[in-house]
Amino acid sequence: MNFQRTIGKEATISGISLHLGSESCLTFRPAPPGSGVVFMRTDLLDSPRISANIANAVGGVIRRTSIGDKGVIMHTIEHVMAALAGLRIDNVIIEANAPEPPAVDGSALPFVEVLKDAGIVDQDVPRQGLRLTETLSVSDGDKELIIIPDGSFRVTYAFKLDSPVSLTQLVSLEIDEDSFAGQIAPARTFCFQHEVEALKAQGLGKGGSSDNVVVVDNDGKPDHPPRLEDEMARHKILDLLGDLYLLGSIPDGQIMGIRSGHDLNARLIQKIAESHQKNRRMINAATIKPLDTNQIKRILPHRYPFLLVDRVIELEEGKMAVGIKNVTINEEFFQGHFPQRPIMPGMLQVEALAQLAGILISWSRKDDASLGLFRTVEKAKFRRSVVPGDQLRLEVRILRKRSKVAKFSGQVFVGAEIVTEAEFTIAL
């Protein structure tokens, strides 16, 4: 089995951050299955958390990848994310005492080393892969990224510069844990001499130094001996891996890139996410025949006006389920929420997820008449309003289960868009 992974113990790394120039310390802590990568800003009141995923990606920043949630930002996370991607660490909490990680030596290698020292631990929950079914591409002038479905993960990258000097580097590598640690992670951040003043004028590079940035002169000569052949192209692959990991998984496929950077990376991962969600809806790998409302009523005790699952279209016993809720203007709650602007309450969407979870639990406990009740609701996010005419696709997955308690993650989609998500615990 391809299981999710976390680290075995706490690990810490510190130094000066690259762009903000602040003293920065990261503490990596183990996290349970299904948690994902979460940054915790310990320098702020109540230590707010930011999940490192595509939904929290911040646009409009230059030369770095940033995430944010409710106004709380974490900048320049790509090297940390690349280390986690390369080591296939799925779940970790990263406590940060500054809004940007330490630059250390400008590569991902120091992060790889501290994470390996902490130990990498398999968890008892399978990893959910990201399967592509079509070739996807994005471009901007002479910059391009293409991903082709394939059974392995290979990146071919062409770094090409025309001015102030003609320079080309080409790297093609099948990436696994060993090849990443040895041939990608050591590649350092670089910039060209003519870019230094422009970066400073934009308020960036305040922590940049010969310790963490390779500066290339106008003749194409770096001020440090290269660690690896074609180091600049390899560092571009490093950044790409870090950005891809905002998907929560590295897709199987061959990626080809020319001159691309963070902006184009962000466009590609958005396209991958949209394609993945579309294909999940088109390719229905159901393990049961769909359950209609009458069959659902034989499983759930809920009745009008509180039965919020119309159909179950996919169910994998002990693991996950997918259901449908059709939202119509005849819903009773629209009489008061709100008469002039009908909106489905967010907590009723969470209730619909919980009812689907109840079906999933009951499917494997056919002779058990226990009633499932909410115990906790966590990490609930309501991303847009649900209105009459929407069809909700409900998806729930078991994170962990004991005899009388089960914890779930759930998402509500309208089309390919996530509108609501939450984690919740049900007690029997």
Is position 262 annotated as part of the catalytic site? yes
- Using CA atoms, how far residue 296 sits from 69, 347, 374, in Å, is 37, 21, 19
DSSP state of 340: T
Token digits for 276? 């993945």
- Catalytic, out of 19, 79, 235, 262: 262
Length of the chain: 428
d(CA 400, CA 34): 9
Non-local (6+) Cβ contacts of 38 within 8 A are 31, 49, 50, 51, 52, 92, 93, 94
Burial of 224 (0-12, 13-18, 19+ CB in 10 A): middle
Beta strands in 17-152 (DSSP E): 23-30, 37-41, 49-51, 57-58, 66-69, 72-74, 92-96, 120-126, 136-140, 143-149
Non-local (6+) Cβ contacts of 422 within 8 A are 350, 353, 377, 378, 379, 380, 381, 409, 410
Q: Can you tell me which residue has the tokens 């009008």? A: 304
- Catalytic, out of 224, 276, 302, 337: 337
d(CA 147, CA 137): 6
Amino acid in the structure at residue 407 = K
Catalytic residue IDs: 262, 337
